Amino acid sequence: MKHHKTNAEIFADARKALLGHLSIAVWSLLLFVSLSILLTEFSYTFTFSNKYLGLTLNLAVRYLTTVFISLFGIGLSSIFLRLLYDKQALVRNLLTGFFENSDTCIRVRAFITAGQFVCLLPLQLYMYILPPESISASLPVIGGLTAVCLAGFLFWDLTFAMSNYLLLDFPDLTADRILRASSAMMRGNRLRLLLLYIRLLPLHLLGIFSLGLANIWVSCCQYACITAFYKDMMTVEK
């Protein structure tokens, strides 16, 4: 009977995959982050005179922008998946989500993004309607609401963490089957992936002392770790 690798073994596999390929991983990640920042900043440039109409339209613009950015995320997953299996990866693979099985990719990412927005919506609405002078008195409520919203967001994110890789490996599956498959794979494995994230947290914090330069390597390791986690899941499932 096959058993899952430990997180230490998954981390070792991720580091091995990056050996000799760090430059392509770094450039791809930097381009992805740069595009994400630019598009996110662009989504905040829209202003509307009506307060509540403005909130609705701003949320809609941010939702569409997030879905668009997440298609680049599929491409980034493609690059790290190629590196893990020792295949050639190119920066242009960032566009995979736009040109390969794009209809299903959009459906899957639209659903996941909608769930993420719903998880954070109560906090956003509360902060939007809260008068500035009441913020100090409302800190306990804000803190509790933030904790609940982030817990829901994290649970949702972990549930569909394998979706990008399933889209890449099984292009013939429908969006519904991709989402169901990711949910089934992560049942009982959410904590394992969460602990993998936590394992990398000290490295991210230490990266602050390098003015963020070390965080680039750590972020590459994080993406490689998630990819190695997916590979381990698929190996045990077979």
Kindly state whether residue 6 falls inside one of the protein's structural domains.
Answer: no
The pTM assigned to this predicted structure is: 0.90
Sign, CA torsion 58/63/65/69? positive
3-28 confidence digits (pLDDT tens): 788 888 999 999 898 988 889 999 99
Sign, CA torsion 90/79/217/69? positive
Do residues 54 and 92 both lie within one domain? yes
Kindly state whether residue 1 falls inside one of the protein's structural domains.
Answer: no
pLDDT at residue 43, as a whole number: 82
176-213 confidence digits (pLDDT tens): 999 999 999 999 999 999 999 998 888 888 877 777 77
Kindly state whether residue 63 falls inside one of the protein's structural domains.
Answer: yes
Report the 10 Å Cβ neighbour count for 107. 16
pLDDT at residue 2, as a whole number: 64
Q: Which of 58, 34, 63, 64 is nearest to 46 (CA)?
A: 58
- Cβ contacts of 179 within 8 Å, gap of 6 or more: 108, 111, 112, 160, 163
Do residues 236 and 137 both lie within one domain? no
Do residues 218 and 150 both lie within one domain? no
Do residues 78 and 108 both lie within one domain? yes
Kindly state whether residue 16 falls inside one of the protein's structural domains.
Answer: no
Do residues 183 and 197 both lie within one domain? no
| Percent residues over pLDDT 90 in the chain | 63
- Cβ contacts of 88 within 8 Å, gap of 6 or more: 82
pLDDT at residue 237, as a whole number: 63
- Cα–Cα distance measured from residue 43 to residue 79, given in angstroms and rounded to the nearest whole number: 27
Where does a domain end: 164, 187, 210?
187
Where does a domain end: 144, 164, 187?
187
Kindly state whether residue 156 falls inside one of the protein's structural domains.
Answer: yes
96-111 confidence digits (pLDDT tens): 999 988 999 999 999 9
Kindly state whether residue 80 falls inside one of the protein's structural domains.
Answer: yes
Do residues 110 and 220 both lie within one domain? no
pLDDT at residue 4, as a whole number: 82
Kindly state whether residue 147 falls inside one of the protein's structural domains.
Answer: yes
- Cα–Cα distance measured from residue 87 to residue 190, given in angstroms and rounded to the nearest whole number: 28
Contact between 149 and 122 (Cβ < 8 Å): yes
- Cβ contacts of 115 within 8 Å, gap of 6 or more: 156, 160
Do residues 61 and 49 both lie within one domain? yes
Do residues 155 and 213 both lie within one domain? no
Do residues 182 and 193 both lie within one domain? no
- Summarize the confidence of residues 68-86 as an average pLDDT: 95
Do residues 238 and 194 both lie within one domain? yes
Kindly state whether residue 5 falls inside one of the protein's structural domains.
Answer: no
Domains in the chain, number: 2
| Average pLDDT across the chain, whole number | 90
106-130 confidence digits (pLDDT tens): 999 999 999 999 999 998 888 888 8
pLDDT at residue 202, as a whole number: 86
- 102: Cα separation from own chain's centroid: 18
Sign, CA torsion 132/137/139/140? negative
Do residues 180 and 225 both lie within one domain? no
- Summarize the confidence of residues 158-166 as an average pLDDT: 96
Domain that holds residue 39: 21-187
- Summarize the confidence of residues 221-231 as an average pLDDT: 94
Do residues 67 and 29 both lie within one domain? yes
